Structure 1
């Protein structure tokens, strides 16, 4: 099984090599990069390319590693015991399987996405070391050991919000998704908007990359945001000449798709004011 670009996803050569290396080594692929560079979408496209089912585990700040294995609902069991329910005698009725358990017991190989692992507590990655390394875990309430029937393809994403432990990093194959260069971005846009006129595409991408290079920008617009912007430009039936900016405002047309906080909007307003000042 080899991963490559799909009809809806442009994968650079180094990303393709990283995915296939992780699959060959049977190690989790840890993917970092700017928000909006397609890290989460990568797992979906890998599953599609390899023809495998996808199981997604989206991590939140309150997520615990144990939830990925299973959760024991002791409260429900206590309530049922007070009501005299028959199901109370089988503890399995009160165990909810987590995403890792689902991946381990799948009848065939699957792709398991652990999305934004850096959102959780710092101990979260350490608590999954053995399970991801040995592909098994113990269920204390039933005394059974759950082992992976088929080792899943594990893809873990991180936005670099916090450092991950060294012991965890040693068990992963790492890849950083660099922001696409102009040629790659053209290919990405071509997948989503194949009929976009060349003049509009050139004008829009030139303005987009110039915007990203403005010093002091708090949040640089990402790939997903430029795609939203282009969609709006097409919906408004704008042409390349409509994107030209005058000295009164340096903000691009429909800039709300690109700039996502008031500090960056004010930055462009200040730059335009300074440009208008004599001398």
Structure 2
């Protein structure tokens, strides 16, 4: 079982090595990188590339680790007992299975995505240490132990919003997705926009990387944003000459796809103004 990338996902060699190392070690793969660099999509493509089912657990700020295991609906049981329901005698009727329970009892190898783990409370990773390490947990209400029949491939993503505990990091294989260089980005664009004219792509990517490297930028545009921008340029039937028309220091055409806050827009407006004054 080896991941080599897919037709829809350009995976650099170091990333495929990381995925396959985590699979071999049977440890969770912790993936970090800028937002929009394809961390979540990686899990989906690993599942597609290895022809495995996928289970997704998207973490929010209010998510608790227990929800990934199971939840006991005591309120429903109390209500049913008041109504004289027969099912109230079986506590299992009020156990709601979480995503880890699903992955552990799937009966086959699956890819389990725990997406944006850093959104949750700082104790969230610690609360999953033993479960992810031993691939089992205890259900106190029923007295049963849920154990992984086949160990899932666990991929955990983080946007680095919070530091993760050392004890959690020790149990993971870590990989940081570097932002693609221009040559890799050309391959990514070709997957999403096949047949794009070379002159347009060269000019657009040159402007994009110059924009990313601008000092003082609050939020650098990501891979997903350059793909959206190129989609708009193609929809408007723009040429390389159209992109160059504004000059080197002007805001890029349709810049709303790339710049996502007023501070960055004002930065480029000031640069354009200063460039005009120096002429």
Using the alignment, how far apart are the partners of 2:265 and 2:101 within structure 1? 46
User: Alpha-carbon deviations, 1:144-192, whole Å to 9, x = none?
Assistant: 0000000000000000000000000000000000000011001100111
Using the alignment, how far apart are the partners of 2:124 and 2:247 within structure 1? 51
In structure 2, what is the equivalent of residue 161 of structure 1?
A: 161
In structure 1, what is the equivalent of residue 47 of structure 2?
A: 47
Cα drift, residue 275 of structure 1: 1.4
Using the alignment, how far apart are the partners of 2:13 and 2:197 within structure 1? 27
Alignment of 1:214-229 (within 5 A): 214-229=214-229
Q: In the alignment, is the contact (CA less than 8 A) between 2:32 and 2:157 conserved in 1?
A: yes
Using the alignment, how far apart are the partners of 1:128 and 1:245 within structure 2? 54
Please state whether the residue corresponding to 2:71 is helix, strand or coil: strand
Using the alignment, how far apart are the partners of 2:276 and 2:18 within structure 1? 49
In structure 2, what is the equivalent of residue 255 of structure 1?
A: 255
Cα drift, residue 245 of structure 1: 4.1
Cα drift, residue 249 of structure 1: 6.6
In structure 2, what is the equivalent of residue 13 of structure 1?
A: 13
Using the alignment, how far apart are the partners of 1:171 and 1:83 within structure 2? 47
Cα drift, residue 30 of structure 1: 0.2
Alignment of 1:1-279 (within 5 A): 1-246=1-246, 250-278=250-278
User: Alpha-carbon deviations, 1:37-74, whole Å to 9, x = none?
Assistant: 00000000000001100000000000000000000000
Q: Report the TM-score when normalising by structure 2.
A: 0.98
Runs of 4+ in 1 over 6 A off after TM superposition: none
Using the alignment, how far apart are the partners of 1:40 and 1:93 within structure 2? 33
Please state whether the residue corresponding to 2:252 is helix, strand or coil: coil
Please state whether the residue corresponding to 1:146 is helix, strand or coil: strand
Q: In the alignment, is the contact (CA less than 8 A) between 1:248 and 1:273 conserved in 2?
A: no
Please state whether the residue corresponding to 1:221 is helix, strand or coil: coil
Q: In the alignment, is the contact (CA less than 8 A) between 1:110 and 1:153 conserved in 2?
A: yes
Using the alignment, how far apart are the partners of 1:185 and 1:118 within structure 2? 27
Using the alignment, how far apart are the partners of 1:223 and 1:154 within structure 2? 24
Please state whether the residue corresponding to 1:275 is helix, strand or coil: helix
Using the alignment, how far apart are the partners of 1:217 and 1:78 within structure 2? 55
Cα drift, residue 133 of structure 1: 0.2
- What is the root-mean-square deviation of aligned Cα atoms in Å? 1.1
Cα drift, residue 247 of structure 1: 5.3
Please state whether the residue corresponding to 2:133 is helix, strand or coil: helix
Using the alignment, how far apart are the partners of 2:83 and 2:61 within structure 1? 35
Using the alignment, how far apart are the partners of 1:247 and 1:237 within structure 2? 19
Using the alignment, how far apart are the partners of 1:225 and 1:62 within structure 2? 28
User: Alpha-carbon deviations, 1:107-165, whole Å to 9, x = none?
Assistant: 10000000000000000000000000000000000000000000000000000000000
Please state whether the residue corresponding to 1:45 is helix, strand or coil: helix
